[in-house]
Amino acid sequence: MIDVSVVTPSYNRGHLLPRVWASLANQQVGFEWIVVDDGSTDDTNRVIADLNDPRIVYIALPKNSGVNAARNAGVSAARGRYVVFLDSDDELYEGSLGRMVEVMDGADPGVGVAAFACTVADTGRQICQLPDGHVLNEYDLVCGGALYGGDKIFMYRREVFDQFRLPADLKGCEHVFLNEVSKAWKYLMVNQPLSIVHRQSDNLSNADSLIARSLDIARSYERVLQNHADILEHEPSVVTRYLKKALFRYGVAGSRRDVWRIYLRLMHQSISLQDRIEGTVLLALSMLGLASFERWRINCINRRLIGRDSK
């Protein structure tokens, strides 16, 4: 019996897949590893063929379609009771899948997702502390930002994907999907690290990647406002927070028309003087160009994280 379908999208990351497999091969539950080759031009297909294990399912997409489309393709092929997304540059601890299954089997049927902590490779530092045992709902996620603040690994009931799929029109922006799922399912938080995250040391490429995705990130904030309008109707401060985030991201992306559109929407909110000042400052900075500031900001954050992890 297949308990878990582990889905790993991969775009030109064939050289990392053996490490992922090494962390999966001896997991003590029935599982399948679905590798979705997202239009790679490297030797991913050969790497998978060399691993030669019947538990591995290889899916090759005809062109690079993004991580969300790749995950959706993997979910469509999944046969397990539960689904886990494991990135190509991450790995699991021994016994992780068994622990996840144990938690989900014992959870209330209304819990559709369990969130587990992660650690940083080499140091073992836990990235964020989770409120162990807490069950979260839509309000907690959308208004409280309960799932922000660091990497986590999630186990989903397969039934979740009968109702929801990741937004293939957005690059990344997993929070849109996580928030949407919370409309029908609850989240269980488990403060136990079960996966290992490998930090990228190339700060410049990380910054450039985030800047390139800024338009999608801005749109994702608007998507959240649209998808959860019912509960946000009585939370003007939360709406203001999302609008300011969208304004900043549109500014980084250089989309001045959207900057003005969001700015005017923000000014029509019943907001404080401080929010009006912050919105106007973001508008002014957007006219000057926020991309350079954002690159500097991300590089400072990454240097601090990498420096802390190396201690």
Average pLDDT, the chain: 90
Q: Which amino acid is at 209?
A: S
Please, are residues 182 and 137 in contact by the beta-carbon 8 Å criterion? Answer: yes
Dihedral, 207, 150, 115, 28 alpha carbons, nearest 10:
80
Alpha-carbon distance of 161 to 78, in angstroms, equals 10
pTM recorded for the entire structure: 0.90
Pick the CATH number of 4-197 from 1.10.10.10, 3.90.550.10, 3.30.428.10, 3.90.950.20: 3.90.550.10
Residue whose structure tokens are 């190339």: 202
pLDDT at 207: 59
Q: What is the pLDDT of residue 205?
A: 46
Give the pLDDT confidence of 176-233 residue by residue, as tens digits: 999 999 999 999 999 999 999 987 554 344 556 667 788 999 999 999 999 999 999 9
Start and end residues for every CATH 3.90.550.10 domain found in the chain: 4-197
Residues 6+ apart with CB under 8 A from 263: 247, 279, 280, 282, 283
**What is the reported pLDDT for 190?**
98
For residues 311 and 239, the model is more confident at: 239
- Across the range 50-57, mean pLDDT stands at 97
